Amino acid sequence: MEKYLIAVIAGTVSGFVDRWLMLRSDYRYYPTYPHAYLTHLALGFIAAGLGAVAIPALAKPDYVAVTFLVLAAQQFRDIRNMERETLSNLEKTKLIPRGTDYIEGIARVFEARNYLVILTALLNSAVVYSLGWQYVFLSAPLCFLLSLRLMAGSHIGDIAKIEAGQLHFDGSILKVNDVVIKNVGLPAEREKILREGMGVIIKPIDDNARLTLDAPGQRMAIIHDAVSILGSKVDVGEPHFAPLARKQIDQGYLALFMLANEPDLEYLMEIIKRVPVLESTRGTTLSSLYGRKAAD
């Protein structure tokens, strides 16, 4: 009995710590409120407990206890719906929205993190049960590193080159380099844009990246993250200075225009490099047979 108890405790603690390490919050992450931290840590503790009891239950054997893992999978699937609903409701009050693709990506991540917690707890429980409690100090850090690696994902800086662009007007048409952004009618607004605005060129490194940047959801994510840090001069009912990302239709790269509260072009380019590549927009053209032939 003592052996089972030690295995369950070791698995539960390691799984809970794993969830705590994966619970991050900055301008790209959610949650950002204390009650949301508590909710996800509590769910992480439950997930860790479920994963930790699996090996001792099989060893006893008590196969009924293992069926709780099936029930847990259904419950953690509901986490995605909870996050999607929460963020969608918050979206209605944002001047610069995240977009549905970004929200869906966040919801999937929160579901997946609980499965990683179950796996971490299960593996560490198995190690302690089979080899002894001392080995958890080796297996647990390895599981933590693996979880963080799996959750890292890729960023825009991995798939595109970010360069400074030049804002200018062709008559009343605002352009960044040769990319048309929008029509600006009032001379005062044009002067303000030229004086305070910033332009960035985002060039994909291959066809997969080009397909990713083509997606409106990925562009919305780039704009949202930039605005979250640098701010914007958009107000309710006044979209004249709204940030926009447009495509150079012949060559496939993006041009981003932004009028920020903190106009720092170098920092803007660094922010764009760190924007996550959304799963729902990830291009895989070159992985297909015809994509490889076209590339050749």
Task: Note the pLDDT tens digit of each residue in 8-21.
Answer: 999 999 999 999 98
Instruction: Give me the DSSP letters along 269-282.
Output: HHHHHTSBPPGGG-
Mean pLDDT over 180-207 rounds to: 90
Same domain, residue pair 136 and 179:
no
SS3 252: coil
Mean pLDDT over 58-78 rounds to: 72
Same domain, residue pair 62 and 145:
yes
d(Cα 225, Cα 239) in Å, to the nearest integer? 18
Q: Which domain holds residue 148?
A: 2-152
Residue 292 lies in a domain: no
Same domain, residue pair 165 and 145:
no
Q: Give the pLDDT confidence score for residue 160 in this predicted structure.
A: 93
pLDDT in tens, 26-50: 555 566 666 678 888 888 998 898 8
Higher pLDDT, 78 or 245: 245
Same domain, residue pair 187 and 259:
yes
**pLDDT classification of 220: cutoffs 50, 70, 90:** very high
pLDDT in tens, 132-152: 889 999 999 999 999 988 887
Residue 293 lies in a domain: no
Same domain, residue pair 57 and 132:
yes
Residue 294 lies in a domain: no
Of 67-81, 194-208, 216-230, 260-274, the poorest mean pLDDT is in 67-81
Q: How many CB atoms lie within 10 A of CB 62?
A: 12
- 169: which strand partners? 174
Same domain, residue pair 125 and 176:
no
| Non-local CB neighbours of 218 within 8 Å, separated by 6+ positions | 101, 212, 277, 278, 281
d(Cα 66, Cα 71) in Å, to the nearest integer? 10
pLDDT above 70: percentage of residues in the chain:
88
Is residue 209 scored above 80 in pLDDT?
Answer: yes
DSSP run (H or E) holding 4: helix 2-22
Residue 130 lies in a domain: yes
Residue 219 lies in a domain: yes
Same domain, residue pair 148 and 265:
no
d(Cα 109, Cα 83) in Å, to the nearest integer? 10
d(Cα 236, Cα 94) in Å, to the nearest integer? 10
Q: How many CB atoms lie within 10 A of CB 26?
A: 11
Tokens matching residue 296: 């050749």
pLDDT above 90: percentage of residues in the chain:
39
Q: Give the pLDDT confidence score for residue 91 in this predicted structure.
A: 84
Is residue 66 scored above 70 in pLDDT?
Answer: no
pLDDT in tens, 275-288: 989 888 876 665 65
For the whole prediction, is pTM greater than 0.95? no
Same domain, residue pair 61 and 100:
yes
Among residues 111, 129, 152, the one where a domain terminates is 152
- Give the relative orientation of helices 34-59 and 100-131 as an angle to the nearest 10 degrees: 40
d(Cα 37, Cα 146) in Å, to the nearest integer? 22
pLDDT in tens, 112-129: 888 999 999 999 999 999
Total structural domains within the chain: 2
| Non-local CB neighbours of 254 within 8 Å, separated by 6+ positions | 179, 201, 202, 203, 213, 219, 245, 246, 247, 248
Question: Among all chains, which residue has been given the structure tokens 């509260």?
Answer: 261
Task: Indicate the Cα dihedral angle 4, 6, 7, 8, nearest 10°.
Answer: 90
Residue 204 lies in a domain: yes
Same domain, residue pair 115 and 193:
no
